[in-house]
Structures are given as structure tokens and as C-alpha cells.
Structure 1
């Protein structure tokens, strides 16, 4: 790949393919695979990523909101798409574009049932989400009777799957809690299946669940962060390949004398003769102010340079005093050479927040 000449997010689709096959290799052959492509495919490019995964053979997709699913349909995605957090105002569009809703509360169940009836739907697929301990979205175990009462005697919607979400599958110190979630989920699917007279397909595991709780893979698993190269575990991270590299260039170099300041609020003052470089990206591009003031490093010609002063809206300043470089040279903010996990950790956050926060004004380019 040519060296960057502007700020770009470089996306390696071969690495995506590697991650997909690695995660698939942990599963039984008959287990379905759901690829999570919400939030612009974790900050990359949802349409390009989804089309690649569809070609690779993924069975399902998931997005957070209806419009994300609409964009995938417009791009040519034909595989089933689960909308994880649908809102009633979008139910008409959801049905028109053949998207499948997560039904997570009595209110959502009743309103989607009415919408399906209005559209004359017959056995429209829905996915019933249960809360087994994350306490975010989902029916409670004691609401099974309510669900069955509303589904019996109608043919407008039909449960395609039952699912839940693990709260701490990456943290083996919480193994007891995770095992309790798995046990609760199993109890729910047995009881609901008995009352329905059939068993919808079942899914519980996220990326860390695939790695740590393979015995609970049921009929399908869901992977988001793993597809993009991060596994919430140092050993797994070595087996995965980050698909995105955020690159920029040095716009200008400054020579500072002792005591001179850098940036807004004079947040950095040089303690000696200092050479700084200004980069053309900032918090409007997803690199927040919490990465400034010397906490976080970038890579310049294979050497680490700290971000100094306050991150600006469109610019970042770095200390290159001991680095041989020139204006126009490439700078890497994260990627295979500099893990987004490690970069995020310097600012007391996580890789998810860093990679999903990259602005859409940053140009996306692809490794050939």
C-alpha cells in the first residue's frame, strides 16, 4: 500500500477474511454465524464489510438501528438482517425492507404485532431477546407467559430465534456469573419452546463467548469486535488481525525554545529545545481530547511520539524531538503495528470506543 498523503482509514479486507475464518474454526460446522456490522461496521465501512462477509458465507447480519439495515439493503445485502434496537417509529420501513426486529419488551411486542397485522404479514420473523443479567434490554424470564399469550391465535409474526447477551464473557474472574447467565438462558429456551410447541433457533455468544464458552454456541453465534481484529484477550489478539489502520501525515514541523507553549490553553510547555509536528486530524475525526497532554503516542517512522498539549478539532501536535522525519512523512495512530487496544488504554477507554469513533469525514481506502 502506498504511504499516506492525507488522513485515511486503511481497511484490509484480507484481514477481515482471516478473522472470519479464525472465529468460524472455533465452531461446530452446523453452527450459524451472525456478523455484527452496526456503527459503520465498527467504524470502518458497513457496506463494503458486509458485502465481503456475505461473499465469505456469513449466515446473518446484525445492526443496531433500522436505518443501518436499510443502508445494507441498498448496498445489495440479501442475507437476513437482525435489528437489535428497533424503535416503533421505524416499524413500517423495517417491514418494507425485510429487516428482522429484536423484540425486547411488552411494548415493542404489542406495537410490532399491530404493525405486522396492518401490513398483512404472515409469520413475519422476529427475534425475542431475554435479559439474563446484562440489564440493558430484554424480557424477564417471568414474562414468558405474556409472550406466548400474545403470539398464540395469530399468524402475523413468528419467533425465528431466542437470544440473550453475555455481560462479562471476556473476564474469566466472572465465570460464575457467566455460567449463571448460560443456565438461565437454557431454562428460558426450554420453557418457551415447550409453550410454543416448537423451538426457534437460539444464540447467546458474542466474540469473547465464542472463545471462552464454546460449549454454549447453540444454533448461532454473534461476532462484532473479533471480526475487526480484537478479541479482548492478549492471546486471541495475536491470532486476529486488525482490519483498520488510521494514518495521517506531518503537515508542519516547528522548532521551539525552552518555555514556549503548544496549542490551546498553553497546555504543553517545552522544558527544553523541542521539535514538534502538526498532524491534520483532531477530535472531529474521533481522536478525543482525552488522548492529549502526553498520555498517548503515535508512530512516526517506526518510533513513538507523544501527543502533546490539547487535541484540537482538526489538528494534533506531537513531540518529534528525537525522531528523524520531515513534513509529509506518514504517521500511524493505530493499526496492526500499534494496537487500538493499547492506544485506547492510554486514555482509560477501550478499543471499541476508539475505532467506532473515527469520523465519516476520514477517507476510507482499501488494501488491494
Structure 2
């Protein structure tokens, strides 16, 4: 490993390009590709990721909130940006920065139409979100008539796309449910096209959908976690490369005698002579308390070092009794040789959570 000297999150843009090209290989040449860069690009570096993706020719970006889209525009990103969960209070800013809203409810549609009318917009591009089974956001299938009536004789906005979201695309046991969602979405598309007199493009698939349901790629797909190196299955993980590597160093080494305890609340009690290492990162950096007390682990000199005691705000302690290491040695928390998925699973959670939890106070290094 390269010497880092402190806790850093390394961002490998070549790994990002590899993942993008691999996922693109699953698609028809005409299918558009949307890169999901919300939550600081899954905890990495939103601007660096977006600039690299734009250079690779990605067709769209997606963010969760308007503020994220604004940050991308201010950084010089010109590719279309979809805002997945906009709020009316941000509509004016959304329009100023030429972001495209996902309109997901009667209230949001009416509010955006009102703002569009006040701004004297014409054919402003919007995406309409339909709920086909995830039951999170979206219009119902039965709302097609309502939506078309709201747009009758109105030209302030134009539906550029419709979208939905599979609830369990990574789970082969839920194939029947996913197939039903796809059928519903197709039915909605036909009905809406008939009422509008034109055909918005469609997007429904996430990373696992790209891999498992290529027949439903429609005109565009959306990938988030796959771009960052995780395919929601052990088989697909082998085809992808983790983009982010969290590294730190050993700050201090302690010799612990039998009966001594380590950390807050004396959560670890030594049954024998042990050697511990203290690392400069903790729950304020995204390593939650659930990783403590032997559940989580890091890699030092290629060996596992379990986290012992309670995770502190800025520090964790690990057992290095069987590892020949010294203060200043580098530590891999997760990355190429210890995936974020493996690290997260030690605490019964998922890669998405640990990736997006990494604090912004940790220095990002772009490789």
C-alpha cells in the first residue's frame, strides 16, 4: 500500500471507469446510462466522480436533493441531472440550475406546475415517478388519467421520462414480484403515451436490475452501487472493482495484561496477555459502535485485526497480538483486499451504509 500517514479515503477513478464499462457491456448500444451520484457519490467524492463519468460519456446523473445538483452545476457539470426527491421549497433553485425533477405525487406535480407557470416556463423537462411495488414514492397506476388531465392545454412542462424502481432486483426468490413490477410499468407506459400523444423515455432498472433483468432496460438504466464496485452478489462483485479504499495508521500500541480492560465501559476484558493498536478513526468517521466488541475487523500486514471494546468517537482499538506491526504502520479498513461489503456484513449491515457513512472530515485522495 502507498504510505498515507493519516486516515484517508482513496478514490480510484480507473476502477470507476472499469465498472462503468462493465455495466455498459450488459446494455444495448442505444440504451442510455444514468449514474447515481447522490450522497457524495456513495460517500466518495461527488464532483470527482461526476467529472470522470462525464468524460466517459454518461448520459444522465441522479441526485437525491436539489442541493446536490446545485453543487454539481457549480462544479461545471453540464450533463442532465435528475433530482429524485425534490421539495417545493427548492423548485425555484432547481429551475435556476436547470435540474430535472422527479414528480412523484399530486401535491408535487401541482406545486411544480404552479412554479413553472410563475416562471413562464415552456416544455420544462420533468420525470414522472410511478410506484409499482416498492411503496416508497410514486404515483399509482390509476393516476394516469389525473396526470394527463393536469397537463391538458398546458405547455409549461413536458414529461421527458417516466420511471419506477424495482423492490428486490437482487433477490432471485423475488423474480415473480419483479416481473410483475415490470409488467405494471409497461402497462402504465402504454396508457400514458396514449393520453399524452407522445412517448417519454423510460427507466426502471438499478444495478441489480441491469444484471438480472436486461429485458427491462427500456431506454435508460440507473446505476449507483455497481459503479462503486459492488454488484449485490458474490459473482458480480468479482467483475467489479471497489472505487473507495479507507486506510488509516496505527497511532499507538499497548501491551495489555490479564484482567485489564480496554475502552469505554470496560467493554473488553483481557483473559491473557494481549497487544492492542489504537487507530485514528471512530464513529464520528462512520465506523459505528455496532462494529465494536469483536464484530468488525481491519487488515494489518494482510491479517485480520478484530475491533475490541466499544468504538470511540475518534478512535478504535484492535487486537494485533498475532501481527508483527509497529506504530505508524498502515491499516486497511475496506477496499480492494477487504471489500466494504465484507466489512459491513460483520455488523449485519450492507455496503451502502458503510460507504455513505464515511465522514466528510476524512481526507479524500483521488487516484
TM over 0.5: yes
Q: Distance between the aligned counterparts of 1:153 and 1:47, measured in 2?
A: 39
How far off its partner does 1:286 sit? 0.3
Question: What number of residue pairs does the alignment pair up?
Answer: 367
Q: Distance between the aligned counterparts of 1:47 and 1:358, measured in 2?
A: 16
SS, match of residue 311 in structure 2: coil
How far off its partner does 1:296 sit? 1.0
1:157-306 correspondence to structure 2 within 5 Å: 157-306=157-306
In structure 1, the residue matched to 2:28 is 28
How far off its partner does 1:55 sit? 0.3
In structure 2, the residue matched to 1:116 is 116
Q: Distance between the aligned counterparts of 2:366 and 2:54, measured in 1?
A: 18
Q: Distance between the aligned counterparts of 1:366 and 1:303, measured in 2?
A: 26
How far off its partner does 1:193 sit? 0.4
SS, match of residue 55 in structure 2: helix
Q: Distance between the aligned counterparts of 2:64 and 2:159, measured in 1?
A: 19
In structure 2, the residue matched to 1:52 is 52
Q: Distance between the aligned counterparts of 2:193 and 2:281, measured in 1?
A: 53
Runs of 4+ that moved beyond 6 A: none
In structure 2, the residue matched to 1:325 is 325
In structure 1, the residue matched to 2:335 is 335
SS, match of residue 307 in structure 1: strand
How far off its partner does 1:366 sit? 1.7
SS, match of residue 184 in structure 1: helix
| 1:219-251 per-position Cα deviation (integer Å, ceiling 9, x unaligned) | 000000000000001110000000000000000
1:66-145 correspondence to structure 2 within 5 Å: 66-145=66-145
How far off its partner does 1:297 sit? 1.1
TM-score, normalised via structure 2 length:
1.00
SS, match of residue 287 in structure 1: coil
Q: Distance between the aligned counterparts of 1:259 and 1:294, measured in 2?
A: 17
Q: Distance between the aligned counterparts of 2:183 and 2:170, measured in 1?
A: 18
Gap regions ≥5 residues in structure 2: none
Q: Distance between the aligned counterparts of 1:47 and 1:340, measured in 2?
A: 21
CA RMSD of aligned residues (A): 0.5
SS, match of residue 117 in structure 2: helix
TM-score, normalised via structure 1 length:
0.99
| 1:115-160 per-position Cα deviation (integer Å, ceiling 9, x unaligned) | 0111110000000000000000000000111100001101000000
Q: Distance between the aligned counterparts of 2:2 and 2:42, measured in 1?
A: 24
Q: Distance between the aligned counterparts of 1:2 and 1:28, measured in 2?
A: 39
SS, match of residue 14 in structure 2: helix
Q: Distance between the aligned counterparts of 2:279 and 2:346, measured in 1?
A: 19
Q: Distance between the aligned counterparts of 2:152 and 2:54, measured in 1?
A: 35
SS, match of residue 239 in structure 1: coil
